[in-house]
A and B are shown apart, each in its own frame.
Chain A
Amino acid sequence: MIVRILGEGQLRVDDAAASELNELDAKLEATVERGDEPGFKPALEELLSRVRAIGRPVEPGALEPSELILPGEGATMTDVRKLLSGDGLIPG
């Protein structure tokens, strides 16, 4: 499957890694639900670095949508909330 890290591009990740990533994503999700800003950053970092470690960059000319999209490095909880609300997100 293809995973996008916002601001970095797409990575191809083995389907077998899905459950591992889902676990990390659940931890991240929990911090957002709790409004746990201090816990959010390390949870995001952990998820991002795992995806980077197991993923291979998708060829630049590929036009495939990503199955999963991750907030970029340095994103705040507010950024994520904005992403989820979809306000003025995609130009065109």
Chain B
Amino acid sequence: MSVMKRVSMMFRAKANKALDRMEDPRETLDYSYQTQLELLQKVRRGVADVATSRKRVELQINQLQQSSDKLDRQARDALAVGREDLARDALTRKAGVQGQLSDLNTQYTSLQGEEEKLTGASQRLQAKVDAFRTKKETIKATYTAAEAQTRINEAFTGISEEMGDVGLAIQRAEDKTAQMQARAGAIDELMASGALDDMVGGPHDDIQAELDRMGASHDVDAELARLKGELAQGAAPREIEGGEHADGASAAGGPEAVSDGQPTQASPADQPQAGDGA
């Protein structure tokens, strides 16, 4: 017999077994409705769990992406100051981070797919549960045992198939979420242990520390060079300044020099000029 028919029969067999357990058809209706509501709760929790797990992965992806970017910058900085060994170290770590990233991205996509499926399942089940509730009330209102039994069987088989499908979807999502949680936990541990954290930065980032040291010594060298330059050039500015002073002195001292040479003739002419200037 075909796969499709056999699977369908398995679902029906389950539904029939559940139906057979009930003595009063109305009891079946109420009991089933309770189970449906519980399953709806469960599938909604499932959607929330998958979403939480997805967000956690999203956060880790962002963190790893940042450390990858940072390592890339550090490699450039290291090369710029001629430290190929440091650049190589940074790029090696970056490759490790990229490996984790690509794994996480794959998991993220699969988790997203699971979330969508579960959301769809939740909506379909909700629609069917609503339909079942309406039908349940109608059947109860017009209750005659023989007629009700048939209609109840129809409705019950229809909804229990949906419930079986949703139940499977929840199981699958739970499995995927558990795998994802384990993986996310492992990466968190790696980060906490410093294996990844060293790359991410912070106080233990040795590549950055080395670059900073180099940057600092570079700054010190530059400062030294500037000071030396100033000292070396020190003589020349003073000569210029001295020249200016000499010019100023000659301009200001002119009258004095003149007065020295020609005291009586120059002073009457200079005095009115100084008075005009003031």
B32 in contact with A4 (CB, 8 Å): no
Complex contact A26–B4 (CB within 8 A)? no
Closest to B34 in A: A92
Contacts of B13 in A (CB 8 A): 86
A42-74 near B? 1/0 per residue, CB < 8 Å: 000000000000000000111111111111100
Q: Contact: B10 with A86, CB < 8 Å?
A: yes
Interface residues of A in 6-56 (CB under 8 A from B): 6-9, 21-22, 25-26, 28-29, 32
Contact with A along B144-161 (1 / 0, CB 8 A): 000000000011011111
B 191-232 binary contact with A (CB < 8 Å = 1; else 0): 000000000000000000000000000000000000000000
Q: How many of A's residues come within 8 Å of B, CB to CB?
A: 34
**Number of B positions contacting A (CB below 8 A):** 44
Of the candidates A7, A26, A61, A65, which one forms a contact with B161 in the assembled complex, judged by CB atoms under 8 Å apart? A65
A-B contact count (CB 8 A): 117
CB pair B161–A66 under 8 Å, yes or no, is: yes
Chain A residue at smallest Cβ distance from B160 = A90
Closest B residue, CB atoms, query A91: B167
Binding site for A on B (CB under 8 A): 2-8, 10-15, 18, 32, 35-36, 38-39, 117, 120-121, 123-124, 127-128, 130-132, 135, 154-155, 157-161, 163-165, 167-169, 172
Binding site for B on A (CB under 8 A): 3-4, 6-9, 21-22, 25-26, 28-29, 32, 60-72, 80, 83-84, 86, 89-92
Contact sample, A vs B, 21 pairs, CB 8 Å cutoff: A7-B165, A9-B120, A21-B4, A60-B123, A65-B8, A65-B15, A65-B154, A66-B8, A69-B8, A84-B3, A84-B10, A89-B168, A90-B14, A90-B160, A90-B164, A91-B163, A91-B164, A92-B35, A92-B39, A92-B160, A92-B163
